[in-house]
Chain A
């Protein structure tokens, strides 16, 4: 199925009232958001609540000589001042990260990045807490910082992580994948080899809501309730149990409404732990909400990969092999959230969507005096970097071969009969039918006509570019045999209870940050069990009310939790069938399921609805032998494989020859995320990701000066697209269901963020062809584009 999406000006489907699941449905969460009745962490207001503020390091690298908190403690509204030394006495100064490293909660020995947490103040109101920070006097012995990742491993470089026993350098990890010898052989026989250095600069998710928490420790029953901005409430609870030594059943993590996450709210931040400690110390509820500058300078960034890409091909344009060498900047602590066996995430899919003979990647990760992180920004576990690399290098090859980039891709795309396809780095692509997706995008764009227009404009000295990107993602982590985070298997639980009157509640372990789970998961269950979505309540974001699971990131909600929701509904339906057989006095085999009711085969007049069955399950009278009362089930879904969405994107840009300003004139996105549950929500996910892509390609970068000062610490310096920088998106879709997912869905949350940056950069480089340009690094700001036009493009870091 392929289609171009229309743009309905107004559509009021009432399908939430019908016993059908999939299709456009208005969102169940919207009525509260529209009225200003969303409930975010900073909206939590508890009696006697105190406010916490964090003192942060002004320097990138320095030894703490002394801290004087006496003036802050004397402030009349201050209730507590806590330093790293005080935490160390409780064994709480360090915490594990989600990638088997440790990170300081409050610095004890050294500060390792500008913005690192040094001390906190708890006061009666948020202004007083901030005032008191000014009263803390810290003396630092400034140490030389390591800012350029390329110099981190030089002999004599300052050692950042001297907290790690025996550590004498800034090496974080090495990793490699693929067949080095086979790749070398393929390169040796190639007619053409193209090499290109490509930097994916450090960017930041910057959700509109910053990170924060409210901790409420009840001294009487020893129970901690923590409202926090978390995309993974269950994983966080387990980590708090490990860090704080609190028994896990005495910790309740609540993620209320989340004002955007994009990966930024996956890690555990020191602020959360500080709030917990503060509540335990003061016996009062304590709120911590970071400001924007704290969010940009201290929380999980994304990317920061310095890559060399090499591609080998025949002179006819058959791609033979791809090779890459990556230097990864992980900041001061390895704060990425990656499955244990995958320190570079899923970068191994860098072979992309192409039928090649061999591939090899080698990576070295280093510590620098920058904020920790690496998980964030719709990264699909580093697939963003992988796709950018391959799609950029393929365009470089097209340039070398003087071939049209669409033609080169069409020549090399995997063919439908090759699926399931095992990539040269061992990834098993579940399904795909790539060519129709690219063809549809080209048709929507009017590709041939655009090329003619471009040729005309070049004649006149106008700079117009057309960029293509084709991507394959690997999402839905993941099979527990291969994937865990800190020993926690990446499965997800789901519980479904059908109440006596036929209404239902479904409890999921993933956590919405705006994706519309309350709607989508109701639709998934409705599709399977025939209860209208309006009659199904979705509960997420409360560890006391939902089964265990690893949460929402890496586009994993639909592939994992969505599968769990479908499976649990089928389990309930199986039980309903047995109860129905008793009610209709026929054998189970004689029943047929017709959306919402069981019918006796051959006698449509005899049937019972799911609501009838629910009442019987809870009511008086006998049930079939061996059947317990009630109509509910719980499962834990362990995916057998990842899912592999794909898409084809085409971007059209105009570059002003006088000012070097890039305007994205058109953007055509054709996505294939398998079975589509709610097209309206899918379109929204794609639009948001495309806008991220414009930001990363043209505007956003977290940068540092040579002393390690973050010079992108506010939204005046870290530029995010507004409505004026983005076009009206043109979307379309193809549908290639996943063969192993119970409803064939693949996930779409990150597709556009992954696929759009290379399309935009390819378009800008295409526009600048008259200048002989083959590559320029993001972000393609006017000054950087101007440099490229003058013949000296500069790396962004």
Chain B
């Protein structure tokens, strides 16, 4: 069957099998390998992407179900060569180690901050509780999301004390 959707702002159209999962469509058909796959049971959340602005587990969504929808992946977080504050926060606060769960964690974190710009520790933990990180112990992820929230709040206030941005390609 033919499926057409918008992925990170670009319209894509492919001939696919009806049973194809969105995660495999993104990875194998579009080459967007930033979205990962980690379990068979929708528990781990390494595959989280946005569909029409809502985080979904792309291992539990058929590519066909995303037809006509807007999908956003980790590759779409960076805008105009500037990392999203969530991405910057994860780097600044060591919110990642092996990097495998990171794209899903960041997509959830971005969605959280869009609806709740000043979350508590508990709200952050609740938001990412459908996802597993085996490396970090979560505390640094919580700090990372706070960092992004602080940064965005300062930017909104036009605060001259805006935390310094991590330059693109920093330390690479």
A interface residue numbers (CB < 8 A to B)? 7, 9-12, 16, 25-40, 42-43, 45, 126-127, 205-210, 257-260, 262, 291-293, 513-516, 519, 534, 680-681, 683-684, 686-692, 714-716, 720, 722-724, 726, 728-729
Contacts and interface: CB of A to CB of B under 8 A. Distances in A.
21 contacts: A9-B143, A10-B163, A30-B99, A33-B99, A34-B91, A35-B75, A35-B77, A37-B34, A127-B19, A209-B98, A259-B99, A514-B98, A681-B94, A686-B137, A687-B137, A692-B134, A722-B130, A722-B138, A723-B138, A728-B142, A729-B137
A206 B134 contact: yes
Interface of B: 17, 19-20, 24, 27-28, 31-41, 43-44, 46, 73-75, 77-78, 83, 87, 90-94, 96-103, 106, 121, 124-126, 128-143, 146-147, 150-151, 163-164, 166, 168-172
B32 A36 contact: yes
A34 B106 contact: yes
Contacts of A715: 39, 41, 43-44, 132
Contact of A209 (B19, B38, B94): B38
A704 to B, nearest CB: 19
Contacts of B102: 33-34
B135 A7 contact: no
Contacts of B19: 127
A513 B94 contact: no
A30 B171 contact: yes
Chain B at the A interface: mostly helix, strand, loop or mixed? loop
Given A687-B137, A715-B132, A723-B126, 15 more contacts: A7-B143, A26-B170, A35-B83, A39-B33, A207-B98, A208-B36, A208-B98, A209-B100, A259-B99, A688-B97, A714-B41, A714-B43, A723-B124, A723-B129, A726-B138
Contact of B94 (A27, A258, A692): A27
Q: Is the interface of A mostly helix, strand, loop or mixed?
A: loop
A12 B90 CA distance: 12
Nearest to B34: A36
Nearest to B83: A34
Given A12-B164, A36-B33, A724 B129 contact: yes
B73 to A, nearest CB: 7
Contact of A259 (B98, B139, B166, B171): B98
A208 B40 contact: no
Contacts, number: 206
A691 B101 CA distance: 15
A31 B170 contact: yes
Contacts of B172: 28, 31-32
Nearest to B90: A34
Given A10-B150, A684-B135, A26 B91 contact: yes
Nearest to A715: B43
A722 B128 contact: yes
A684 B102 CA distance: 14
Contacts of B103: 36
Contacts of A513: 98
B41 A34 contact: no
Contact of B121 (A9, A37, A728): A728
Contacts of B150: 9-10
A34 B96 contact: yes
Nearest to A724: B129
Nearest to A695: B134
Contacts of A514: 97-100, 135
A26 B151 CA distance: 18
A30 B91 contact: yes
A36 to B, nearest CB: 2
Contacts of A684: 94, 97, 135-137, 140
A691 B130 CA distance: 16
Q: Which 10 A-B pairs have the closest CB atoms?
A: A36-B34, A514-B98, A33-B99, A687-B137, A259-B100, A514-B97, A36-B74, A715-B43, A691-B137, A723-B125
A12 B166 contact: yes
B58 to A, nearest CB: 13
B36 to A, nearest CB: 7
B46 A208 contact: yes
A421 B128 CA distance: 46
